[in-house]
Amino acid sequence: MTEKPLMRVLRGEPVWPPPVWLMRQAGRYLPEYMALREASGGFLARCLTPDMATEITLQPVRRYATDAAILFSDILVLPWALGQDLRFAEGEGPVMTPIRDAAGLSRLDLSRAPAETAPVMETVRRVRAALPDTCTLLGFAGSPFTVACYMVEGSGSRDFAATRIVAYADPAFFGRLIDILVEATVTYLAAQIEAGADAVMLFDTWAGVLPPDQFFAHVVRPTARIVATLKGRFPGIKIIGFPRLAGTFAADYVAATGVDCIGLDTSVDAARVAATLPVHIAVQGNLDPMALIAGGEPLAQETIRIRDALRGRPHIFNLGHGILPQTPPAHVAELLTTLRQVS
């Protein structure tokens, strides 16, 4: 059997045209997701019910024949599994009771997470069994820093001020929280790999809010520990890191963490960043989600520009951040047609 195109790229091989999937490819822009959402008991229930999570994971693969399926879940399922409360309020996103001190940490229990996340592993097994054999199955987790942002803040935020302040003011607390998350993330991703994930991705949405020393302490070092431990346990496992808005640190991040692929956000010139990386390191990205909403000629031009600029490099075509709910599903089909039309 020939290897899956996306896995070839993760092993450092350029593939033409590049394999493609889109962050948040399952979700509210798809009518079939919205139909299922009506009937289900809330977002967390959708993540933790294998029937629904499997169906939602497969929806975009069926519709578009993307080169990867990404497990349908959320980065906040892990803190929930550790014992922090979590609800998704309509129109305001995640809401949790903030954890800002040692008393808050004492409410977290690493030992309960494997049982709480067992339904996620069942979803991975079911998706694995249903996927076409050219399609890569991606597992994922949030990176410790980004997950800590939500745990400390207790919600989304424009600037995650409470988190960034406590990281300076109480480094013992913040370091302990990051350590707990490193350990929990390794266990969680290892279980996904054992259940059938081909590769895993670490989402670090808020990595770019930190100054250099804090970036290395809270983003790079914890990520390096997760990568080293997983690669020790699963030789050959491929790992994608997505340190969003960490532009000037891309090469340092890759060198110091040991990831096989770096996700790039829309703020950088992907080819220019790629030129600073070892040739076997894959890049993933970085179409602007707004161009996908706009569609038409601007979408085609941007798709071709990014694809062609990275020709000859191991590249996984993707967005620079998740698909937004107002995206017309037909534009995703247009994007894939343009991307795959090569002479």
Catalytic residues: 24, 28, 37, 74, 150
Q: Are 210 and 250 in contact (CB under 8 A)?
A: no
Binding site for ligand CP3 (CB under 6 A): 23-28, 37, 43, 70, 72-76, 88, 93-94, 140, 156, 203, 205, 322
Least separation in angstroms between CB 124 and ligand CP3: 12
Least separation in angstroms between CB 162 and ligand CP3: 16
Six-digit token pair at 293?
Answer: 């909403």
Q: Is 93 left (phi over 0), alpha (psi -120 to 50) or beta?
A: left
Q: Are 207 and 145 in contact (CB under 8 A)?
A: yes
- The amino acid present at 181, given as its one-letter code, is L
Least separation in angstroms between CB 323 and ligand CP3: 8
- Indicate if the alpha-carbon torsion angle 250, 285, 53, 30 is positive or negative: positive
Least separation in angstroms between CB 24 and ligand CP3: 4
- The amino acid present at 92, given as its one-letter code, is E
Q: What is the DSSP letter of 4?
A: P
C-beta of 67 vs 74, nearer to ligand CP3: 74
Pairwise CA distance, residues 202 & 304, whole Å: 27
Closest CA to 185 of 223, 151, 237: 223
Least separation in angstroms between CB 275 and ligand CP3: 26
Pairwise CA distance, residues 288 & 296, whole Å: 14
Pairwise CA distance, residues 84 & 99, whole Å: 8
